[in-house]
Amino acid sequence: MSLESVKAFFTANAPDVEIIDQGASTATVPLAAQALGVKEGQIAKTLAIKVGDERVLVVMAGDARLDNRKTKAAFGARPRMLPAEEVLELTSHPVGGVCPFGLPQPLKVYCDVSLKAFDEVYPAAGSLTSSVRLTPARVAELVEAVWVDVSQDVVVG
């Protein structure tokens, strides 16, 4: 059902986007990067979190980590990751295939600025073996996301 809802979403909203089925598990960022032959940061992971009483999705670079302080500042409450069962109920996508496309109900979606480091990113497409290739701007446009800065700053050196 989940992959089907994503296919229906792209058919209706972006028929030019092709769903890629790697034929291998992309349930984790390292597995997805290996299957697609890209850097881990190019995997656009979707986190389902609860902030206060609201459940939202945050799409960020695969190698980025959520910064609790920045998230609290952006959303007004400390973020809590949703349990797998609640993520499946909320998105219809299994953990490892969660994406902001083809959702059964409207959800606020936020794109983290960490995505902007890449020309193309690969969000999951509703299953443990599928993804799509999009620019970060197109991801945000398709799901009417708001840009935020909620990832930890990278310390170099």
102 with 57: CB under 8 angstroms? no
Partner residues linked to 146 by β-bridges: 110
CA dihedral over 25, 31, 33, 37, signed as positive or negative: negative
CA distance 30 to 36: 10
Nearest to 5 by CA among 141, 128, 127: 127
Would you say 24 and 129 are in contact if contact means Cβ atoms under 8 Å apart?
A: yes
What is the model's pTM?
0.94
Check pLDDT > 80 for residue 157. Answer: no
pLDDT tens by residue, 70-108: 999 999 999 999 999 999 999 999 988 999 999 999 999
State the pLDDT at residue 69: 93
| Identity of the residue numbered 45 | K
pLDDT digits (tens, 9 = 90+) for 17-69: 999 998 888 888 999 999 999 999 999 999 999 999 999 999 999 999 999 99
